[in-house]
């Protein structure tokens, strides 16, 4: 049986607006209350609601371009050296000193569940609408299920057991169903939603006006990653089956690509604002509109350091997108991805590396920084490296090496076998698992994959040892010594925990 969640703060608007006030003893209705179900009369009403689900992804509190606080800053790639800004709450993520009362953490939780709420509203009301074209109804339902699955996938990896809701709730249903569900049940729902979405009329890949919407390639890639994550982080009894499933779905995504070799796509093309709608490597993205105050991208300007002009026409007064020395040292000599992705700001105030991977210094973006960068959620190099990961775990070393070499060849680097002849490479990446993790790090840097990659690659104990083995000098102010087993998961936000301390139990290692 599927469970539910209480939605609080901003997300309450998405759910509680649907409920009429409780009838009093005269059975009177509140004339100001709006029944949300009444808003679903035509297929266009459903489309508007589905578009609203996509719209919620754009928030910095969700999975959009500025959501690196919950992923990259939690990893060893980025962070911040100012522990005083914003009352120190953002600093807690990279410092591994996060508190359950952290308001940024709560905002992320609320936003993810807000998206789920929007999807549930669509799925709970879509049958009330008459569709002249049944295929249209199937498409909208598939999109809602795909987006709901993506949200739960983020939640379960970040928090572990989480409340599970699959329908629009009445006010009376909320409290009794507010409890954390075990990860196995959450993953089962994610898989079910993705398989339902896959069994639809969605196109293999989106083009034209459809760019930014769900496709079978995006669903297959996500399902492959879900099975890979289950195989590496969940009950190991089904490990081999999950790995084989991961390979099946990742190959399905890979096999619908519209290009031959990855090397035919220049690395810089992926992030070129003028090619974002035609680059065949991109599978799924959040679309932004250059020059638009509401729907433009701010990532190029936000990442730019003082005294620099490479990212944007905006004149920055700050440090830009921080990069750890730990990541800089992980790039191999001559890797062109480093030259494109980061730059050293030699400003009197800022003498440090900053992120340059996302650029729009065009007149269209203006000196206000209204960039046209789309936020890429899934691309083929990611899929290829996951295929390398899966193949390696299945014992197919040749297959894993072949996939790994596809990505290295595009970067102009020697293949894995040849690279092992380099003592420095062999010492840092003594096995294929670590070589793949390294390649994902430098290929996908700042694309919000690194933390999840670490969680897949290492057990909790291994992850603690991995961080403890790093040099504090390569991280600046954040203290590596703070990292321990508790940091595998985030704390349940305090406001959620206090609603029902028994059913919304706190994760180990965090104060209540």
pLDDT tens for 207-262 read 999 999 999 999 999 999 999 999 999 988 999 999 999 999 999 999 999 999 99
Do 248 and 254 touch, CB atoms closer than 8 A?
no
Of the pLDDT bands very low, low, confident and very high (cuts 50, 70, 90), residue 81 is confident
Q: Can you tell me the mean pLDDT for 78-99?
A: 88
Torsions phi, psi for 283 (to 5 deg): -100, -45
Do residues 262 and 384 lie in contact, with contact meaning Cβ atoms separated by under 8 Å? yes
Among 138, 104, 144, smallest CA distance to 124 is for 144
Q: Give the mean model confidence (pLDDT) for residues 385-411.
A: 98
Q: Looking up tokens 């894995």, which residue turns up? A: 416
Q: Is the dihedral of CA 168, 174, 177, 178 positive or negative?
A: positive
Residue with the larger pLDDT of the pair 436 and 25 = 436
All structural domains of the chain, each given as residue ranges with its CATH number in brackets, are 1-183+190-202+467-512 (1.25.40.390)
The pLDDT value given to residue 84: 72
Task: Look at residue 2 in the predicted model and tell me its pLDDT.
Answer: 39
Phi-psi region of 244 (alpha: psi -120 to 50; beta: other; left: phi over 0): alpha
- The pLDDT of residue 16: 32
**Whole-angstrom Cα distance, residue 371 to residue 428?**
38
pLDDT at 33: 40
> 3-state DSSP call for residue 303?
helix
pLDDT at 7 over 90: no
**Mean pLDDT along residues 459-481:** 95
Per-residue confidence (pLDDT) for residue 164, from 0 to 100: 96
> Would you give the DSSP letter of residue 72?
G
Q: Would the pLDDT of 14 be above 60?
A: no
Contacting residues for 174 by C-beta, under 8 A, at least 6 apart: 4, 6, 7
Residue 10, pLDDT > 60, answer: no
Of residues 117, 283, 299, the one with CA closest to residue 210: 283
Question: Over pLDDT 90: what percentage of the chain?
Answer: 87
Mean pLDDT of all residues in the chain?
92
What is the per-residue DSSP string for 447-465?
SS-HHHHHHHHS-HHHHHH
Take residue 53 and report the two structure tokens written for it: 């689900």
Q: How confident is the model at residue 5 (pLDDT cuts 50, 70, 90)?
A: very low
171 falls in which pLDDT band (50, 70, 90)?
confident
In the beta sheet, which residues pair with residue 352? 345
Q: In this predicted structure, what is the pLDDT of residue 511?
A: 84
State the pLDDT at residue 172. Answer: 81
Q: What is the pTM of this model?
A: 0.93
- Whether the predicted pLDDT of 430 surpasses 60: yes
Q: Which of 8-22, 162-176, 395-409, 434-448 has the lowest mean pLDDT?
A: 8-22
Across 385-390, average pLDDT? 98
Which pLDDT belongs to residue 83? 75
- Is-contact 489 160, C-beta < 8 A? yes
Cα Rg, the chain, nearest whole Å: 23
Q: How confident is the model at residue 157 (pLDDT cuts 50, 70, 90)?
A: very high
88 vs 94: CA distance, rounded Å: 11
- What integer is the mean pLDDT of 492-504? 94
Q: Residues with Cβ < 8 Å from 425, sequence gap 6 or more?
A: 332, 419
Angstrom distances, CA of residue 25 to CA of 22, 28, 278, 371 = 10, 8, 61, 56
pLDDT bucket at 37, cuts 50 / 70 / 90? low
Mean pLDDT of 175-202: 95
- Mean pLDDT confidence for 142-171: 96
pLDDT band for 36, please (50, 70, 90 cuts). low
Cβ neighbours of residue 45 closer than 8 Å, sequence gap 6 or more: 39, 129
Alpha helices in 346-457 (DSSP H): 380-393, 397-410, 416-419, 423-428, 432-443, 450-457
């Amino acid at each position: 049986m599927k469970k539910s969640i209480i939605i609080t703060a901003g997300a309450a608007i998405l759910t509680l607006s649907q409920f009429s006030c409780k009838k009093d003893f005269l059975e009177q209705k509140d004339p100001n209350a709006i029944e949300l179900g009444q808003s679903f009369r035509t297929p266009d009403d459903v489309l508007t609601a589905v578009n609203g689900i996509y719209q919620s992804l754009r928030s910095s509190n969700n999975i959009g371009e500025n959501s690196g606080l919950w992923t990259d800053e939690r990893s060893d790639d980025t962070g911040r050296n100012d522990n005083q800004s914003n009352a120190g709450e953002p600093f807690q993520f990279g410092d591994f000193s996060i508190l359950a009362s952290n308001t940024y953490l709560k905002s992320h939780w609320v936003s993810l569940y807000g998206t789920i709420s929007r999807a549930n509203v669509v799925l709970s009301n879509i049958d009330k609408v008459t569709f002249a074209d049944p295929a249209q109804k199937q498409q909208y339902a598939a999109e809602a299920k795909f987006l709901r699955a993506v949200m739960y996938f983020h939640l379960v990896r970040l928090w572990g057991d989480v409340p599970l809701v699959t329908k629009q709730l009445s006010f009376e249903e909320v409290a009794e169903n507010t409890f954390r569900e075990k990860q196995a049940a959450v993953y089962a729902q994610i898989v079910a939603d993705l398989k339902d979405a896959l069994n639809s009329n969605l196109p293999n890949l989106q083009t034209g006006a459809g760019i930014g919407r769900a496709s079978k390639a995006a669903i297959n890639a996500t399902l492959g990653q879900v099975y890979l994550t289950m195989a590496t982080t969940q009950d190991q009894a089904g490990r081999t089956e999950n790995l084989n499933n991961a390979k099946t779905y990742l190959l399905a995504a890979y096999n619908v690509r519209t290009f031959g070799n990855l090397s035919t796509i220049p690395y810089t093309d992926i992030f070129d604002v003028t090619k974002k709608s035609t680059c065949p490597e991109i599978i799924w993205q959040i679309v932004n509109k250059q020059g638009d105050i509401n729907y433009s991208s701010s990532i190029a300007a936000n990442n730019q350091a003082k005294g620099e002009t490479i990212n944007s026409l905006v004149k920055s007064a700050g440090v830009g997108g921080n990069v750890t020395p730990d990541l800089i040292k992980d790039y191999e000599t001559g890797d062109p991805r480093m030259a494109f992705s980061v730059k050293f700001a030699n400003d009197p105030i800022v003498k440090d590396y900053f992120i340059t991977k996302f650029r729009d210094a065009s007149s269209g973006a203006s000196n206000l920084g209204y960039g046209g960068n789309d936020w890429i959620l899934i691309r083929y190099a990611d899929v290829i490296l996951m295929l390398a990961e899966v193949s390696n775990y299945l014992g197919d070393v040749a297959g894993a090496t072949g996939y790994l070499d596809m990505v290295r060849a595009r970067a102009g680097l020697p293949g894995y076998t040849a690279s092992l002849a380099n003592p420095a490479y062999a010492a840092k990446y003594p096995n294929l698992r670590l070589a793949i993790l390294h390649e994902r790090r430098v290929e996908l840097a700042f694309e919000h994959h690194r933390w999840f990659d670490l969680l897949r690659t290492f057990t909790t104990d291994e992850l603690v040892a991995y961080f403890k083995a790093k040099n504090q000098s390569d991280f600046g102010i954040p203290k590596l010594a703070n990292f321990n087993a508790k940091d595998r998961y985030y704390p349940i936000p305090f406001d959620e925990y206090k609603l029902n301390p028994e059913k919304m139990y706190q994760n180990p290692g965090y104060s209540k």
